[in-house]
Structure 1
């Protein structure tokens, strides 16, 4: 049975990145909302952190939304960081070869520090 996705913004006032925390399944039903909310956040802050610690499942639609948001952040001069992705998402990134595209951190605090640091290169 599918677990409905909840997305909430937890961005601090002085943060360099918008922060969206998700829980539930990142699937065909949830991916459009994630993309829409993420794209709006990128327009405002350029950098986006997705806290995936409570995501229970990610299918190809969710993966596609992540790829599109990464491109959107780069086009805005920012970056997308995945915080605390569950093992299933880590495996999906590795199997697809996309782990090199997504900076990931073990915690949300590490993701915030990573975005605050100057971009490499």
Structure 2
């Protein structure tokens, strides 16, 4: 049983905003990768609100990196918003804050990546 929940908060054009809550660990990483990966096929710009993450291990970190690659392969991007201090520290220690667009709040991420309606 996974201890992580992914919720779709908004979809508009190519952009999707999702929230994740719970533990991003080895038990949840595969489910997150599959669920979010499926969403990336129709919405290649994903803003992921991490404020609800209570724990993140190396499996969870790996899932985020794999999703970033998958978004890039789809011509899109994975944007991280509101990471809790432990996740921010993990991103800083590994240098991943240089490869992800990371914003301290969802509002900042939304402002930096506005939705564009598909024509």
Q: TM exceeds 0.5? A: yes
Structure ranking higher on relative contact order (CA contacts 8 Å, 6+ apart)? 2
Maintained 8 Å contact 1:16/1:115: no
How far apart in 1 are the matches of 2:39 and 2:21? 18
Contact 2:14–2:115 (8 Å) recurs in 1:
no
CA RMSD of aligned residues (A): 1.8
CA shift digits 1:2-35 (9 cap, x unpaired) = x9211111123x3541122111110011111110
Partner of 1:18: 16
For 2:33, the equivalent position in structure 1 comes to 35
Corresponding residue number in structure 2 for 1:57: 55
Cα distance in 2 for partners of 1:59, 1:106 equals: 20
Structure with the bigger percentage of strand: 2
The question of whether the paired residues in 2 share the 8 Å contact of 1:27 and 1:58 is answered with yes
* Gapped regions of structure 1 (runs ≥ 5): none
2:6 is aligned to 7
TM-score (normalised: structure 1): 0.87
Name segments (4+ residues, structure 1) moved above 4 Å: none
- How many residue pairs get aligned? The number is 115
- Bigger drift between 17-26 and 53-62 goes to 17-26
Shift of 1:86: 0.5
